[in-house]
Chain A
Amino acid sequence: AQSVTQPDIHITVSEGASLELRCNYSYGATPYLFWYVQSPGQGLQLLLKYFSGDTLVQGIKGFEAEFKRSQSSFNLRKPSVHWSDAAEYFCAVGANGANNLFFGTGTRLTVIP
Chain B
Amino acid sequence: DGGITQSPKYLFRKEGQNVTLSCEQNLNHDAMYWYRQDPGQGLRLIYYSQIVNDFQKGDIAEGYSVSREKKESFPLTVTSAQKNPTAFYLCATQQGSASNQPQHFGDGTRLSIL
CB of B58 within 8 Å of the partner chain: yes
**Chain B residues near A94 (CB, 8 Å)?**
99-100
Contact status B107-A42, CB under 8 Å: yes
Of A13-21, A45-53, A75-83, the segment with at least 4 beta carbons within 8 Å of chain B is A45-53
Interface residues of B in 36-92 (CB under 8 A from A): 40-43, 45, 48, 50, 56, 58, 90, 92
Contact status A46-B104, CB under 8 Å: yes
**Chain A residues near B15 (CB, 8 Å)?**
none
Given A32-B100, A43-B107, A46-B102: A100 and B42 interface contact (C-beta under 8 Å): no
Contact status A34-B58, CB under 8 Å: no
Closest CB in chain A relative to B68 CB, distance in Å: 14
Total residue contacts A-B, CB cutoff 8 A: 60
CB of B103 within 8 Å of the partner chain: yes
Residues of B within 8 A of A (CB): 1, 4, 6, 31, 33, 40-43, 45, 48, 50, 56, 58, 90, 92, 97, 99-100, 102-108, 110
- Known contacts A43-B106, A100-B99, A101-B103; can you find 13 more A-B pairs with CB under 8 A? A32-B99, A41-B108, A42-B107, A43-B6, A43-B92, A44-B90, A44-B92, A46-B102, A46-B103, A99-B50, A103-B42, A105-B42, A106-B40
Residues of A within 8 A of B (CB): 9, 32, 34, 36, 41-46, 49, 51, 90, 94-101, 103-106
